[in-house]
Amino acid sequence: MNLVLFDLDNTLIAGDSDVAWTQFLIEKNVLDASAQETRNLVFYEQYKAGTLDIHEFLNFQLAPLAQHPRAQLDAWHDEFMARIIRPMITPAARALVDRRLQEDALIALVTATNSFITWPIAREFGIVHLIATIPAQENGVFTGKPRGIPAFKAGKIARVEAWLESMSLNFDSFEQSWFYSDSHNDLPLLQQVTHPVAVDPDEILRATAHEHGWEILTLRSPM
């Protein structure tokens, strides 16, 4: 059996679901644009530069979850999926995931974006395993804080290893392993698998992929 891991933002979707969720809430006047929009974009630029403080970002990103009832959050997310996320999913991305799902492989979506945002997206692709940053809850209510290690940079390896360990597996349990990602922030996990794949990569990841002879592909046009 093989292991296939997918990043989400700017990999399987043509955009960033974290950034898009905040912008969606701003457009609906749930969040104040003057207070949130600039910070949202600053965090995104820090992410792209590799300088993001993940804990500072999560304090910002998860706070709105603690301020509204779950039923309301779910209703907003339904609209977010329909209006924002599904148009970000290209036919090529769907085709790639569908093809890998037909293989003898253990498949997971591995993303730094929190699981409230990303579970419905994983289900949209038919992926049943999600490794994401976990928003903490108390008595079924979001606290606005993360629980455990964020699935970011080396944290993705820790979270994947813990997931595999829960099934009495590890990376060496698989004949071959793949990780598809667009970002140099994912270099730790890309270097962990036997087949790292750079998908519409940023400049740093593209250069690294060329240097090491990794596969480079695009999901922004038909396969």
- pLDDT score recorded for residue 100: 98
Q: Are strands 105-114 and 195-199 parallel, antiparallel or unpaired?
A: unpaired
Options 7, 18, 182, 202, the catalytic residue: 7
Per-domain boundaries in the chain: 2-217
In the 8-state DSSP scheme, what is residue 110? E
What is the pLDDT averaged over residues 37-47?
90
Strands (E), 49-191: 105-114, 130-138, 141-147, 177-181
Band of pLDDT at residue 223, cut at 50, 70 and 90: very low
Beta bridge partners of 178: 4, 195
Report whether pLDDT(37) > 90. no
Nearest to 109 by CA among 98, 123, 99: 123
Q: CA-CA distance, 151 to 137, in Å (whole number)?
A: 17
| Mean pLDDT, all residues of the chain | 95
- pLDDT score recorded for residue 127: 98
- pLDDT score recorded for residue 175: 96
pLDDT tens for 151-166 read 999 999 999 999 999 9
* Residue 32 annotated to the active site: no
Report whether pLDDT(222) > 60. no
What is the pLDDT averaged over residues 22-29?
95
- pLDDT score recorded for residue 176: 98
With DSSP H G I counted as helix, E B as strand and the rest as coil, what are the percentages for the chain, rounded to 5?
50, 20, 30
- pLDDT score recorded for residue 133: 97
* Residue 7 annotated to the active site: yes
Report whether pLDDT(11) > 50. yes
CATH of 2-217, one of 1.10.1060.10, 3.40.50.720, 3.40.50.1000, 3.10.20.600: 3.40.50.1000
Q: CA-CA distance, 169 to 188, in Å (whole number)?
A: 19
Band of pLDDT at residue 35, cut at 50, 70 and 90: confident
SS3 164: helix
Band of pLDDT at residue 221, cut at 50, 70 and 90: low
pLDDT tens for 61-85 read 999 999 999 999 999 999 999 999 9
Q: CA-CA distance, 189 to 181, in Å (whole number)?
A: 9
pLDDT tens for 81-116 read 999 999 999 999 999 999 999 999 999 999 999 999
Would you say how long the chain is, in residues? 223
